[in-house]
Amino acid sequence: MTDDRGHTTGTGRLATGLTWAVLLFGLWLWGRGVTGVPHTEDGPATGGLFAAAPRLPGPARPLGDALPQRLDIPQLRVQAPVVSRGLDAQGAIDPPPYDQPGVVGWYGAGTKPGASGAALLVGHVDTETRPAVFYKLSTLKPGDTVRVVRSDGKVARFTVDDVRVLPRAGFDARQAYAPHHPGRAELRLITCGGPFDRAAHRYTANVVVSAYLTGSTG
């Protein structure tokens, strides 16, 4: 189980000031594992920080604003529609409904994928009965490819440069979700991870995959 992010404004980067603070607080709450749906029996694959990364390509120039329509992750055989999501009553990004386990949510008040800044995409890891779209997210490695099909007809190609499983204890939302390099077009893929705490009905960590724009087609 996990969350997603979306709602539409014309900002080309993550909201600043009070809105940014509210978002970070909401993401921190989400990072604490505030959820109540039990996971499937096997649980999601979990990874960690990859110390030895391959030689990665240089970043591409950010694209203009365009809405994300589909997320492709060839290594995971994922092709998922992307929907815009906003914040819930607690200030966390509202995920797609659990009856749409194959849908990815994008925080629409923030950066559009391919534009300068860090775009946030979140998907469920599982439901009560089966794996969901980001079930194997933590198995991605630096150098893997993530593609976002955009409303302007372009396909933004991102290269994974960091995969982390962050425990909810001491969770740092800014480290996880803020841009890593100013002026670069970045992507965050986020889901739940770590062992499932049956007593608390939540996962004990979050998987955060970071990627950056390395090219586009179309």
Residue 2 located in a structural domain: no
8 Å CB contact between 51 and 116: no
119/194: higher pLDDT? 119
Residue 4 located in a structural domain: no
Tell me what pLDDT residue 129 has: 86
Instruction: Give tens-digit pLDDT for 167-179.
Output: 877 777 777 788 9
Domains of the chain: total: 1
Strand partners, 215: 157
Measured in degrees and rounded to the nearest 5, phi and psi for residue 83 equal -120, 150
Residue 8 located in a structural domain: no
Q: What is the DSSP letter of 150?
A: E
Measured in degrees and rounded to the nearest 5, phi and psi for residue 106 equal -120, 135
Position 192 confidence tier, pLDDT thresholds 50, 70, 90 = confident
> With the C-alpha atoms ordered 113, 95, 143, 151, is the resulting torsion angle positive or negative?
negative
Residue 7 located in a structural domain: no
Tell me: pLDDT of 155 over 90.
yes
8 Å CB contact between 9 and 155: no
Residue 35 located in a structural domain: yes
Tell me what pLDDT residue 127 has: 83
Q: Report percent pLDDT > 90 for the chain.
A: 52
Residue 97 located in a structural domain: yes
- Residue listed under structure tokens 């955060």: 208
8 Å CB contact between 129 and 107: no
8 Å CB contact between 189 and 209: yes
Domain housing 130:
17-217
Residue 6 located in a structural domain: no
Q: How far apart (Å, rounded) are the C-alpha atoms in residues 69 and 59?
A: 22
Q: Among 133, 78, 64, 144, which Cα is nearest to 105's?
A: 133
Q: What is the CATH number of the domain that holds 53?
A: 2.40.260.10
Q: Encoding tokens for residue 31?
A: 């990072």
Residue 3 located in a structural domain: no
